[in-house]
Structure 1
Amino acid sequence: MVAPDTTAPSSLTQALSADNQTITGTTEAGAIVKVSLKEQVIGSATANADGTYKVVLDKAYNNGEVFNITASDKAGNSTLPNTLVAPDTTALSTLSQTISQDGKLVSGTTEAGATVQVSFNGQVIGSATAGADGKYTISLNKAYRNGEILTVTASDKAGNSTSIR
């Protein structure tokens, strides 16, 4: 007689490759490893006899994506999800700006949570953090209405930045 298997795999390790496109690790031999992003499975693999696995993802991930990795044994017992965060090496893809009629405010949109700075002649003259919707408004240190060239720079939490004039 064989007792039923009611225990999830006892271990699950994971690491993201340098090219951000493969997740490798170890778990129980024969377990099915699933990688999910925003509750969608984006890759899976079966662990080898020695417990090692390799999941090739559909693309390289380099924008701070948060993966959930689980392992399920042949009896269907699953581990709790492990979290793996991809590095954020992607520059901000959006940055817009408009200066108010009176020259005292700069507003626009960018990546949510980005720090936005306005500079004139290399000196920061105002800054703000973009809201959850990506919108920001910056009060400047004085009115700029004589054709001055202002530079707006947005930086995400990982330090990636983009600038426009």
Structure 2
Amino acid sequence: MRNKGVLSLVAVGLFASSLSVGVVKAEGNENELARNALESQNEKPLKKRFIDSKTFNQIKKEVTGSQANSVKGFRKMSRSSSDEDYIYEIEYNDDFDSANNSSFKKVTIGQLLPLYDVDFSKVVVPSDGVLLVAGSASSYAIDLGFAAVQKNYVDNSNLEYLGSEYEDDVELRAYDVKKGTYYIGVYDQDYEYDIDDNTEDDMYAIATGFVDDVEPSKPTVNKVDNNDKVVTGKSEASSTVIVKNGSKVLGSAKATSKGTFSVNIAVQKAGTKLSITAKDSAGNVSSSASVTVADVIAPSKPTIKKVDDNDKVVTGKAEASSTVTVKAGSKTLGSAKANSKGTYSVKIKAQKKGTTLSVTARDKAGNISSKATTKVVKH
């Protein structure tokens, strides 16, 4: 089952090394097309970052464990294609339209009879990620060849062969896939040499697994101000959304099935930068979205010291660094910036006794305080 045939084909160059872009018409023997598909996925080591050891070990265990019961079980299954533990291939399944259904939860067991038999099963991938296909045979009469392909051998970026691993007579092949339906083609590579040594006791087992290694998209976040006690927005459906201030977690919540989220937090100061990430059920974490807490709270009403009809300045206290404006009615008499301690001094022309002055403070965000008033007194 070591894919001896693939190595020999590469060595002598009997078949093309890759499929052409587009659709390959299923002309001639389906077995040859399956061999060509496998040939295009020549042996290359699978990079460690693509191997989910837990999934690999599980499907290897499933494939290995199926061999002892495969012949007995296959003979028992007369009308049904599955039992509690396995799925048994049902002929005719020699092309895409007649492919058997497979499952990530059960091993598929089959025979490669008669000579030149090819079996197809289809697998539905729930989301973008890595499709794993493991295979093994019960005897050396089967030099097992298998490959994941798209219907009619379409060749595009929806399915990319990543490489293979071989351990304990089980081969694992990995594919970078988009969400969709794919087909597992299985054949005996001995057929290349017209060797007809398979019996009803010679079985193969194929198992599939899926690894979601695709991080969610970066969340979108609605405006957050210094009155808000929730952060809202959109992220991947059912993902867990986490809101942080630096390294401190302020809160987390699960997004709805439509992707909307609402995370409760404590009110944050204006200017605070929040980071928001989404984590899916597989543990993949999105890149961070950020939002700066907006200032929507107006400054407190300024205080004003006594102003007489000789004074050319108005003084008092306001919000630190706010801009203080002095008016007589609708006429602006002057403005100045309060210092870091909040004291201000606004130059004006001396005003007549009894004139009502109004003083407001405006912060950097443009929020304006309520008016403080005073009447000019006689010196």
Structure number having the greater helix percentage: 2
> What is the aligned partner in structure 2 of residue 71 from structure 1?
277
Q: Distance in 2 between matches of 1:79 and 1:21?
A: 23
> What is the aligned partner in structure 2 of residue 2 from structure 1?
52
| Conserved 8 A contact 1:20-1:86 | no
| Conserved 8 A contact 2:323-2:336 | yes
Q: Distance in 1 between matches of 2:212 and 2:340?
A: 45
Name stretches of at least 5 consecutive residues in structure 2 with no aligned partner: 1-50, 54-210, 374-379
> What is the aligned partner in structure 2 of residue 112 from structure 1?
320
Q: Distance in 2 between matches of 1:96 and 1:71?
A: 44
Shift in CA distance, 49/125, structure 1 to aligned 2, threshold 3 Å: closer
Deviation at 1:82, TM superposition (A): 0.9
- The alignment partner of 2:370 has SS state of strand
Shift in CA distance, 33/109, structure 1 to aligned 2, threshold 3 Å: farther
Q: Check if 1:135 corresponds to 2:318.
A: no
Q: How does 1:1-165 map to 2 (within 5 A)?
A: 1-2=51-52, 9-16=216-223, 20-29=228-237, 31-36=239-244, 41-48=249-256, 51-58=259-266, 66-73=272-279, 75=283, 77=285, 79-86=287-294, 88=296, 90-99=297-306, 103-142=311-350, 144=351, 146=353, 148-156=355-363, 157-165=365-373
Deviation at 1:127, TM superposition (A): 1.0
Shift in CA distance, 14/152, structure 1 to aligned 2, threshold 3 Å: same
- The alignment partner of 1:82 has SS state of strand
Q: Distance in 2 between matches of 1:135 and 1:39?
A: 36
Give the number of aligned pairs: 160
Higher mean C-alpha deviation, range 149-158 or range 34-43:
34-43
| Conserved 8 A contact 1:35-1:67 | no
Deviations 1:115-152 (A, max 9, x none): 2111234422221122344332111123x484543221
Shift in CA distance, 39/163, structure 1 to aligned 2, threshold 3 Å: farther
Name stretches of at least 5 consecutive residues in structure 1 with no aligned partner: none
Shift in CA distance, 14/132, structure 1 to aligned 2, threshold 3 Å: same
Q: Distance in 2 between matches of 1:136 and 1:39?
A: 38
Deviation at 1:75, TM superposition (A): 4.1
TM-score normalised over the length of structure 2: 0.34
| Conserved 8 A contact 2:218-2:288 | no
Deviation at 1:71, TM superposition (A): 1.0
AA in 2 matched with 1:93? S
Percent of counterpart pairs with the same letter?
28
Structure number having the greater strand percentage: 1
Q: Distance in 2 between matches of 1:37 and 1:138?
A: 38
